[in-house]
Structure 1
Amino acid sequence: MLKTQLETHLTQIARDRDPYLASGGHFFVQEYIRASFAQWGSVDIHTFYVGAKACKNLILNLPAAESQKEDLPLILIGAHYDAVPGTPGADDNATGVAVLLELARIFAAQPIRYPLRLVAFDMEEYGLLGSTEYVTKFRQEQQALRLMMSLEMLGYCDSTPGSQTYPSPLQYIYPDRGNFIGLIGNWRTLRDLISISRSIRKAGVPSQWLPVPNQGHIVPQTRLSDHAPFWDAGYPAIMVTDTAFMRNPNYHKPSDTIATLDLDFLTGVCQGLETGIRRL
Structure 2
Amino acid sequence: MNLQEQLQIHLSEIARERDPFLATAGHFFVQEYIRQQFSQWGSVEIHTFKVNGKSCKNLILNLSADGKHQDLPPILMGAHYDAVPGTPGADDNATGVAVLLELARKFAAEPAKYPLRLVAFDMEEYGLLGSAEYAALLHQQQQPLRLMISLEMLGYCNSISGSQNYPSPLEKFYPNTGDFIALIGNLRTIRDLISLSRSIRKVGVSSQWLPVPNRGLIVRQTRLSDHAPFWDLGYPAIMVTDTAFLRNPHYHQPSDNIASLDLNFLTGVCQGLEQGIRRLS
TM-score range, shorter chain: over 0.9
Question: Is 1:194–2:200 an aligned residue pair?
Answer: no
Aligned to 2:64: 63
Structure 1, residues 247-276: CA drift from partner, whole Å, max 9, x if none? 000000000000000000000000000000
Structure 1, residues 219-274: CA drift from partner, whole Å, max 9, x if none? 00000000000000000000000000000000000000000000000000000000
Aligned to 2:50: 49
Determine the C-alpha separation between the residues in 2 that align with 1:83 and 1:176.
28
Aligned letter for 2:55? A
* Matched residue SS, 1:112: coil
Identify the range of structure 1 (208-217 vs 131-140) with the bigger mean alpha-carbon deviation. 131-140
Aligned to 1:267: 267
Question: Is 1:102–2:102 an aligned residue pair?
Answer: yes
Aligned to 2:34: 33
Structure 1, residues 77-130: CA drift from partner, whole Å, max 9, x if none? 000000000000000000000000000000000001111000000000000000
Determine the C-alpha separation between the residues in 1 that align with 2:132 and 2:139.
11
Aligned letter for 1:64? A
Aligned to 2:230: 230
Structure 1, residues 116-174: CA drift from partner, whole Å, max 9, x if none? 00000000000000000001111111111100000000000000000000000000100
Aligned letter for 2:111? P
Determine the C-alpha separation between the residues in 2 that align with 1:189 and 1:47.
29
* Matched residue SS, 1:204: coil
TM-score (norm 2): 0.99
Once the two structures are TM-superposed, the CA of residue 60 in structure 1 deviates from its matched residue by 0.1
Aligned to 2:253: 253
Determine the C-alpha separation between the residues in 2 that align with 1:140 and 1:247.
37
Once the two structures are TM-superposed, the CA of residue 66 in structure 1 deviates from its matched residue by 1.3
Determine the C-alpha separation between the residues in 2 that align with 1:112 and 1:52.
39
Aligned to 1:138: 138
Aligned to 2:204: 204
Aligned to 1:22: 23
Question: Is 1:147–2:147 an aligned residue pair?
Answer: yes
Aligned to 1:215: 215
TM-score (norm 1): 0.99
Determine the C-alpha separation between the residues in 2 that align with 1:14 and 1:51.
26
Aligned to 1:174: 174
Aligned to 1:81: 81
* Matched residue SS, 2:271: helix
Determine the C-alpha separation between the residues in 2 that align with 1:81 and 1:144.
25
Determine the C-alpha separation between the residues in 2 that align with 1:67 and 1:139.
26
Structure 1 segments (4+ residues) deviating >6 Å: none
* Matched residue SS, 1:44: strand
Aligned letter for 1:139? H
Aligned letter for 1:93? N
Determine the C-alpha separation between the residues in 1 that align with 2:150 and 2:117.
12
* Matched residue SS, 1:41: coil
Determine the C-alpha separation between the residues in 2 that align with 1:139 and 1:211.
23
Determine the C-alpha separation between the residues in 2 that align with 1:96 and 1:233.
23
Structure 1 gaps of 5+ residues are none
Determine the C-alpha separation between the residues in 1 that align with 2:68 and 2:105.
20
Determine the C-alpha separation between the residues in 1 that align with 2:13 and 2:192.
32
Determine the C-alpha separation between the residues in 2 that align with 1:114 and 1:275.
13
Once the two structures are TM-superposed, the CA of residue 67 in structure 1 deviates from its matched residue by 3.1
Once the two structures are TM-superposed, the CA of residue 194 in structure 1 deviates from its matched residue by 0.2
